[in-house]
Structure 1
Amino acid sequence: MTGVAQEKIRLLIADDEHLIRGALEALLGLEPDIEVVRGAGDGVEALTLARETQPDVCLLDLEMPNADGIEAAIRISEEVPTARTIIVTRHARPGVLRRALAAKVSGFVPKSTPAGELADVIRDVAAGKRYIDPEIAAAALTAERCPLTDRELDVLRASRATESVQDIAEQLFLSPGTVRNYLSAAMTKLGVSSRHSAAEQAWQQGWI
């Protein structure tokens, strides 16, 4: 050790569950080398606060309103490239891990992780390392492969945000008839009778 004071890791925490976010802020704030700079209640607010505070690490809950943790991580990496991101999730679906890795997330941990271990993950990520929970990683290796095409996934993803086939068509620059064909194909492959069920199953598997 040189005796020079080490700069604290600047941490932003985003979770729509206020009690959990408050507990994380309090516990992680006790770590001598971590400074909690702000707390956000959804993915959009996390992006706004990341732009304002320029944190070193963003700890993002997966399931948040407006933009989920992975969507927020993608946008933060684009607009605040010095910030590294960690996804925290209660439901560690293997497909979600694949989405997270594709989004270049640096950490992926279950919500059951003790605060002390989480602090170590934050330190590793801040130092440029990547951490994936071993049990989640093992499950991902044996997960069911997605039978849907990229375009079928696109329409299911869009259908989670809107009720209208016309709106989906406009969002994806497709005709309504083409959207219906993609939705029908996805429903057939997944063995369900509605596009909402298809979208929910795809979400639960982590494909969208």
Structure 2
Amino acid sequence: MIKVFLAEDQSILQSALSQLLDLEDDLEVVGTASNGVIAWEGIQAFKPDVAILDIEMPEMTGLDVADQIHTSDLTTKVIILTTFAQRAYFERAVRAEVAGYLLKDSPSDELIDTIRQVMAGLTRYSPELVINMVSSDQNPLTKRELAVLAAASDGMSSKQIATTLFLSVGTVRNYLSAIFSKLGVHSRMEAVKIAKKNKWLK
């Protein structure tokens, strides 16, 4: 069972999302909050597997809470769910290494799928955000993702990358999937092209 904490300051939306998630056999909403302070306290208390956070909340924003989770010892994965497609918000979320960033007008099935995907170790960012906001001054890739992509740029197979970086083949595939999602591409060649164009890879 995947334990989910939901922080959303609009009570009608919070209730609707909570009921929607609880309908899934493998999801359980263990707590809700309508402001950031209560959300942070609840996340520390319940230690959910996934925290779904709105950005604009009273007292602490969802990004403030994401920062707290990132710098703590919690293993909770964060999905930002927001109406705001602003570059500054997205870049801050990337720095906090959130596992997902979706717009509120995304289909409900996409949110549910994203919860399961981030629990499998994947990263899922809304394609609209990625296409518009990936820029050379904000590299969205982690050091390990860059290492995997650098090895891929040398023509290594997933098995060769795994051997070189002391990872499992499955982990390499997860890293590649996260890279593709963050860059809005579907192949290694496209990802390498973007990374080299923006000078993230030499």
Given that residues 51 and 79 in structure 1 are in contact (C-alpha distance below 8 angstroms), is that contact kept between their aligned partners in structure 2?
Answer: no
1:113 corresponds to 2:106: yes
| Aligned with 2:23 (options 30, 51, 55) | 30
TM-score, length-scaled by structure 2 = 0.65
Deviation at 1:79, TM superposition (A): 3.3
For 1:176, the equivalent position in structure 2 comes to: none
Superposed, which structure 2 residues align to 1:107-146 within 5 Å? 107-141=100-134
| Aligned with 2:83 (options 87, 90, 96) | 90
Superposed, which structure 2 residues align to 1:54-93 within 5 Å? 54-93=47-86
- Three-state SS of the structure 1 residue aligned to 2:74 is coil
Please give the per-residue CA displacement for 1:45-91, whole angstroms capped at 9, x wherever unaligned.
11100111110000000111111111111112333521010111102
Q: Which amino acid aligns with 1:129?
A: L
Distance in 2, Cα, partners of 1:25 & 1:91: 21
Structure 1's consecutive aligned runs of 4 or more residues displaced over 6 angstroms after TM superposition are none
Distance in 2, Cα, partners of 1:32 & 1:124: 16
Deviation at 1:10, TM superposition (A): 0.2
Distance in 1, Cα, partners of 2:96 & 2:76: 13
Question: Percent of aligned positions with the same letter in both sequences?
Answer: 36
1:50 corresponds to 2:50: no
Q: Is there any run of 5+ residues in structure 2 with no aligned partner, and where?
A: 139-202
- Three-state SS of the structure 2 residue aligned to 1:109 is strand
TM-score, length-scaled by structure 1 = 0.63
Given that residues 16 and 42 in structure 1 are in contact (C-alpha distance below 8 angstroms), is that contact kept between their aligned partners in structure 2?
Answer: yes
Please give the per-residue CA displacement for 1:146-201, whole angstroms capped at 9, x wherever unaligned.
9xxxxxxxxxxxxxxxxxxxxxxxxxxxxxxxxxxxxxxxxxxxxxxxxxxxxxxx
Q: Which amino acid aligns with 2:114?
A: V
Q: Which is higher, the Rg of structure 1 or of structure 2?
A: 1
Summarize the Cα distance change of 1:81–1:141 in structure 2 as closer, same or farther, 3 Å threshold: same
Distance in 2, Cα, partners of 1:127 & 1:60: 19
Deviation at 1:142, TM superposition (A): 6.4
Distance in 2, Cα, partners of 1:26 & 1:81: 26
Q: Which amino acid aligns with 2:94?
A: L
- Across the aligned residues of Structure 1 and Structure 2, the Cα RMSD in angstroms comes to 1.8
Superposed, which structure 2 residues align to 1:149-164 within 5 Å? none
- Three-state SS of the structure 1 residue aligned to 2:37 is helix
Distance in 2, Cα, partners of 1:76 & 1:102: 12
Given that residues 47 and 74 in structure 2 are in contact (C-alpha distance below 8 angstroms), is that contact kept between their aligned partners in structure 1?
Answer: no
Q: Which amino acid aligns with 1:48?
A: E
